[in-house]
Amino acid sequence: VYSFYVSKNNDLKNEINFFHKSVSNIFELYYCLILLLVTIYKYSSNQTKNLKKAKLDVSKKINNYQKIKDNIILFFLEKKCREKNKKFKKISEEWNLENKYIKLLIDELFNSIFFNKYILIKKPTFNQQKQLILDFFTKIIATSDYISEYLYDKELTWEDDLPVVNTFIVKQIKSITLSNNNNFKIPETKSFNEDIFFGEKLLKICINKNEEILMELKGKTPNWEIDRITSIDLITLKVAIAEILNFKLIPTKVSINEYIEISKDYSTPKSNIFINGVLDKLVKEFELKNRMNKVGRGLI
């Protein structure tokens, strides 16, 4: 919605295409990060073999790479990605070409305090192996400036998507258990058709009913004329109103909280207080006029 009004292209079809491309890009980012872990696993496996063949006095290095090679979580991720080899082949090749990033990440891992504690464990448990990968991902990969810069150069929209995808991957890794590996599934867009449909419908409502939604705001923005509200705050309010009035199954409180959080991430420091105040006033009016028609218990 923001890009539609900022670009002023007034072409709804183009904006819907952009929305679908953005969704597709989120999945692409997810695949890039999962395959980064898999590439590190494969690289470590190859290094273990090559260093052993070389018969050099590098026992510490071999031991370090062996710890990565033997990690059950990385083995599991590699297996999952192997099942979708055609989809991932191009991304894997790109990471292999960017060998310097793999080496840098592994060097950081080998020099980390948590890894040097880990290598002292003779037979790491499943949970210890999982914690190693969680620490590696959260403390090194997710915070890496050179990895984030590399990703942003590939796709500009990934700057906003990266924290969300990182969090999703951490949750996925945490969900893996020794008894049930089915908790971890490589997501595909078809699995999120309902969410994508929701996003497209909300986008269409916001654009097609723009004037009606603006009328809802008339007189509800204390001390501010509508044309003086920052564009991002105005758009946040419009999308929130569209959702509250048109999606019967979404609890009003959920919608309000969602847009307050969005304003915290994308707007000025006090915008969330402003957004909360305006939406609270609007919702009370909608309730009095019985305009929300929420379905299900506790949805108001």
Mean pLDDT of 5-20: 80
pLDDT surpassing 70 at residue 85: no
If one looks up domain 209-288 in CATH, what number appears? 1.10.940.10
Rama region for 55: left / alpha / beta (φ>0; ψ in -120 to 50; rest): left
pLDDT digits (tens, 9 = 90+) for 47-57: 998 888 766 66
Average of pLDDT values for 261-274?
88
The answer to whether 216 touches 282, Cβ cutoff 8 Å, is yes
User: Over 70: is that where the pLDDT of 227 sits?
Assistant: no
Give the model's pLDDT for residue 168.
94
Q: Would you kindly state where each structural domain of the chain is located, as residue ranges? A: 2-188, 209-288
* Mean pLDDT within 283-293: 88
Q: Which residues have C-beta within 8 Å of that of residue 233, sequence separation ≥ 6?
A: 263, 267, 268, 271, 274, 275
| Average pLDDT for 41-62 | 84
**pLDDT score for 191:** 78
**Amino acid 104: pLDDT:** 97
- Give the closest residue to 161 by CA, choosing from 24, 55, 275: 24
Per the model's pLDDT, the better-predicted residue between 249 and 293 turns out to be 249
Q: Residue 172: which residues within 8 A CB-CB, separation 6 or more? A: 183, 184
- Give me the percent of the chain exceeding a pLDDT of 90: 58
Q: Supply the pLDDT for residue 297.
A: 45
Region 75-102 average pLDDT: 86
